[in-house]
């Protein structure tokens, strides 16, 4: 009877899910974003959607109307800002900043240690 129980308990233990690679994560994000934006556009064009109520509450009605008509949900300027903040260039800059900070921290620790020694 024990063998059956032990094999049952091992089957009850969930196996951890496989983690996505960076490329799979990026691709899944793009696919899901496109799908969700298409779904949003479709809903905004449906009779159930209260266009006047929505347009009266948003900052840029023309931009919203353009989006519903098929235009991009982001402007070229927003893409540029995002690339500067989160793109490969920002990663390189962050690495340089952290490397410099690490060097500075070592100097600070030495001066603190010296001040306590005296």
Summarize the confidence of residues 20-28 as an average pLDDT.
Answer: 94
Residue found by looking up tokens 């690679």 in the block: 21
Q: Mark 76-90 as b/e (b = at least 16 C-beta within 10 Å).
A: eeeeeeeeeeeeeee
Average pLDDT of the chain? 79
pLDDT on residue 118? 47
Q: What is the C-alpha separation between 101 and 105, in angstroms, rounded?
A: 6
How far is residue 19's CA from residue 51's CA, in Å, rounded to a whole number?
Answer: 41
Residue 47 pLDDT > 60: yes
pTM of the model: 0.56
Top pLDDT among 11 and 39 is at 39
Has residue 72 got a pLDDT over 90? yes
**pLDDT at residue 115, as a whole number:** 46
* Helix spans in the chain (H): 2-12, 22-44, 51-55, 61-68, 76-86, 88-117
Give the position of tokens 């800002």. 81
Report DSSP letters for 12-36, one per residue.
HSPPPPPPPPHHHHHHHHHHHHHHH
């Amino acid at each position: 009877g024990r063998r059956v129980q032990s094999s049952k308990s091992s089957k009850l233990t969930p196996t951890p899910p496989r983690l996505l690679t960076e490329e799979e994560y990026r691709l899944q994000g793009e696919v899901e974003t496109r799908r969700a934006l298409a779904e949003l556009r479709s809903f905004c064009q449906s009779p159930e959607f209260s266009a006047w109520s929505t347009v009266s509450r948003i900052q840029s009605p023309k931009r919203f109307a353009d989006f519903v008509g098929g235009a991009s949900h982001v402007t070229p300027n927003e893409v540029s800002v995002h690339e500067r903040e989160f793109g490969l260039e920002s990663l390189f800059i962050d690495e340089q900043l952290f490397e410099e900070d690490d060097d500075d921290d070592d100097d600070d620790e030495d001066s603190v240690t010296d001040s306590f020694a005296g």
